[in-house]
């Protein structure tokens, strides 16, 4: 039987962290991301499969990634990623899902107690961000760094997915203050 590439991830709405504290953490990296959600042909999207393309800029290097995701549970997804060319990224961007806008963010990554923490900072929020921590099973509760203030666990709330943010950005209804 094939083993599927699973992503088991917790997501938290957090107060905007002290960036200097994050930069001082082990294995700190910073990336600029622009991601778009694509229309899938009939036969895919109605079965819960989503497709995203991403442009990632890190230390002067640019890479492009195509990702397919499908929910298994509220916390677990099958995730298949592959690097693509800039040409393919440009071609695929023409299939931007109707009613969505590209999502731009800065991703700050660091290590904490043998886990990788990812803090996503968006240009439309000045007081909050997201913290994502991938775990090995749904029975594991990730350790939250003591310098991060969690406002809400949004792991199971689909309205906090980046694809939902893409819809809200398109509709200009995203609350930029809260």
Q: Please give the pLDDT value at position 75.
A: 93
> Confidence band (pLDDT; 50, 70, 90) for 177?
very low
Q: For 36-63, what is the mean pLDDT?
A: 86
- pLDDT reading at 2 higher than 50: no
Q: Which of 16-30, 33-47, 70-84 has the lowest mean pLDDT?
A: 33-47
Distance from chain centroid for Cα 54: 10
Query: CA 33 to CA 114: how far, in whole Å?
Result: 24
Q: What are the phi and psi torsion angles at 167 (to 5°)?
A: -70, -45
CATH code assigned to 6-170: 2.40.320.10
Q: Please give the pLDDT value at position 44.
A: 63
Q: For 43-68, what is the mean pLDDT?
A: 88
**What radius of gyration, in Å, describes the C-alpha atoms of the chain?**
16
Which pTM does this prediction carry?
Answer: 0.90
Sign of torsion, CA 63 98 50 38?
Answer: negative
- pLDDT reading at 174 higher than 60: no
**pLDDT per residue over 84-114, tens digit each?**
999 999 999 999 999 999 999 999 999 999 9
**pLDDT per residue over 67-83, tens digit each?**
999 999 999 999 999 99
């Amino acid at each position: 039987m094939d083993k599927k590439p699973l992503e088991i991830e917790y997501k938290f709405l957090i107060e905007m962290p002290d960036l200097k504290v994050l930069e001082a953490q082990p294995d700190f990296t910073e990336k600029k991301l622009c991601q778009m959600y694509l229309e899938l042909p009939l036969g895919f999207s109605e079965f819960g499969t989503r497709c995203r393309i991403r442009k990632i800029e890190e230390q002067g290097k640019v890479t492009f990634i195509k990702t397919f995701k499908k929910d298994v549970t509220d916390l677990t997804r099958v995730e298949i990623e592959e690097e693509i060319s800039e040409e393919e990224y440009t071609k695929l961007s023409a299939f931007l899902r109707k009613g969505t806008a590209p999502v731009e963010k800065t991703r700050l990554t660091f290590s904490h107690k043998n886990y990788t923490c990812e803090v996503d900072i968006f240009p439309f929020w000045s007081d909050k961000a997201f913290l994502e921590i991938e775990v090995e099973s749904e029975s594991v509760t990730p350790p939250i760094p003591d310098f991060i203030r969690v406002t809400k666990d949004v792991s199971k709330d689909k309205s906090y997915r980046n694809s939902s943010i893409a819809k809200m950005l398109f509709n200009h209804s995203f609350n930029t203050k809260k």
